[in-house]
Amino acid sequence: MNQDAESVTIRGIEKSFGRTKVLRGVDLAIERREFVILLGPSGCGKTTLLRIIAGLERAEAGEIRIGERRVDQLEPKERNVAMVFQSYALYPHMNVFNNQSFSLRLRRMAKDDIRDRVNRAAKTLGLEQLLERYPRELSGGQRQRVSMGRAIVRSPKVFLFDEPLSNLDAQLRVHMRGEIKDLHHQLDTTSVYVTHDQVEAMTMGDRIVVMNGGIIEQIGSPLEVFDKPKNRFVAGFVGSPAMNFVDGELTTSGSGLELRVAGRANIPLGEAGVGRTSGRATIGIRPHHLRITADGPMRSLVKDVQPTGVETILLCRWADSEMLVQTTDRVGVPAGQEIGLSVDPADIHLFDSETGERLDV
Ligand code: ATP
């Protein structure tokens, strides 16, 4: 177990650029050796938060601690963190060895120690044969590995990753996801990883921090966030294809709570502890929870059929809502046909239409 790994504690961080408030009081406690993902749409402030942890930006309010030590007034190099950038940020005129050893040479570390560290990192990352090459002679994935190597040689207390895979093609991205996860387990260090790709977030993190408009919307394990999104924003952002939403009016019938959807149908909501029996509400249904059944209560018009090989996505219209249906069946329904859709009440998420907060707990 890596005894050097440190926790990161973020309290009340606020940051503006000019008159634009980018972070509005962010609190987050990251445990030692945890792999935490900052996930959110473009512009939500995740990169800014990472740069504030690194010391590349200064917050106007709040504090950052690495372990017990308060670091927000320290220079980046005094914080003992290493950052891996989306752009790799390699020095083009230096070969791989020199790129990796640069920060150690700046620190005037002994030559033998430098060689040891670079060789160890190169072995971990499979770069041993490439130490003499220049960045222009490397593939995207190899460059990304060099930039990770440059972080590893410094033995930081915390690794910060800023969308490190977004410049890679889809196949390589899947491969590198595995490599970064492996690396995290090998090095056993605290990692904070920024991405807007929710598949990356789901597959890599111990915990996901979902951000939106400069605040944290939810913190939880990938499956907690997926299965129990705290509000409509998280529900709509996490999961691909995205969750379907339908607005209606809560009502009770002999069989329990239902959502009445204007002039269409009543959707039974089952036993969920909603604590409310009337008023406007929004239901959320994940595309893979919709079933195509002859007598399904949601009579929907199929607008497009998208087979991917493994599964089929149907784009349908029901009431005033677009409905995505995801099925592993090879459905032979043509566009323009009407189908019946049904859902198990246990799979329905329920949100307040006004506040977007989750109603069933
Ligand atoms: P992306 O996924 O697109 O990188 P992000 O969530 O990482 O988005 P940030 O890069 O943190 O978002 O940016 C948050 C907001 O702050 C954006 O509106 C951005 O335009 C603004 N911003 C970021 N850096 C600066 C800067 N140096 N000067 C002015 N505005 C900035």
Q: pLDDT (tens digit, 9 = 90+) per residue, 13-46?
A: 999 999 999 999 999 999 999 999 999 999 999 9
C-beta atoms surrounding 255 within 10 Å: 11
Domain spans of the chain? 8-232, 244-352
Task: Give the pLDDT of residue 317.
Answer: 95
pLDDT confidence band for 198 (50 / 70 / 90): confident
Determine if ligand 1 sits within 6 Å of the CB of residue 45.
Answer: yes
Task: Give the pLDDT of residue 361.
Answer: 64
Task: Give the pLDDT of residue 276.
Answer: 79
Looking up tokens 């919307």 gives: 217
Determine if ligand 1 sits within 6 Å of the CB of residue 222.
Answer: no
Q: Phi and psi for 206 in degrees, rounded to 5?
A: -70, -40
Which ligand 1 atom is the nearest neighbour of the CA of 48?
Answer: 11
Check if the beta carbon of residue 82 is closer than 8 Å to that of residue 138: no
- Taking the centre of ligand 1 as the mean of its atom positions, its distance from the CA of residue 47, in whole angstroms, is 7
Give the whole-angstrom CA distance, residue 211 versus residue 218: 7
Task: Give the pLDDT of residue 155.
Answer: 86
- pLDDT per position as a tens digit, 267-306: 888 766 567 788 899 999 999 999 999 888 899 999 999 9
Give the whole-angstrom CA distance, residue 73 versus residue 197: 32
Over range 93-104, report the average pLDDT: 93
Ramachandran bin of 134, using left for φ above 0, alpha for ψ from -120 to 50, beta for the remaining angles: beta
Which ligand 1 atom is the nearest neighbour of the CA of 49?
Answer: 11
- pLDDT per position as a tens digit, 111-161: 999 999 999 888 888 889 999 999 999 988 889 889 988 988 888 899 999
| Topology, domain 8-232 | Rossmann fold (3.40.50)
CATH number of 244-352: 2.40.50.140
Strands in 215-220's sheet, in edge-to-edge order, are 81-84, 158-162, 190-195, 35-39, 207-212, 215-220
Query: Helix, strand, or coil here: 312?
Result: strand
Average pLDDT of the chain is 91
User: Residue 185: how many CA atoms within 13 Å on its side-chain side?
Assistant: 8
Provide the whole-model pTM: 0.91
- Taking the centre of ligand 1 as the mean of its atom positions, its distance from the CA of residue 214, in whole angstroms, is 10
Is residue 360 predicted with pLDDT exceeding 90?
Answer: no
Over range 307-332, report the average pLDDT: 92
Determine if ligand 1 sits within 6 Å of the CB of residue 239.
Answer: no
Q: Percent of the chain, pLDDT > 70? A: 99
Residue nearest to atom 22 of ligand 1 (CA): 17
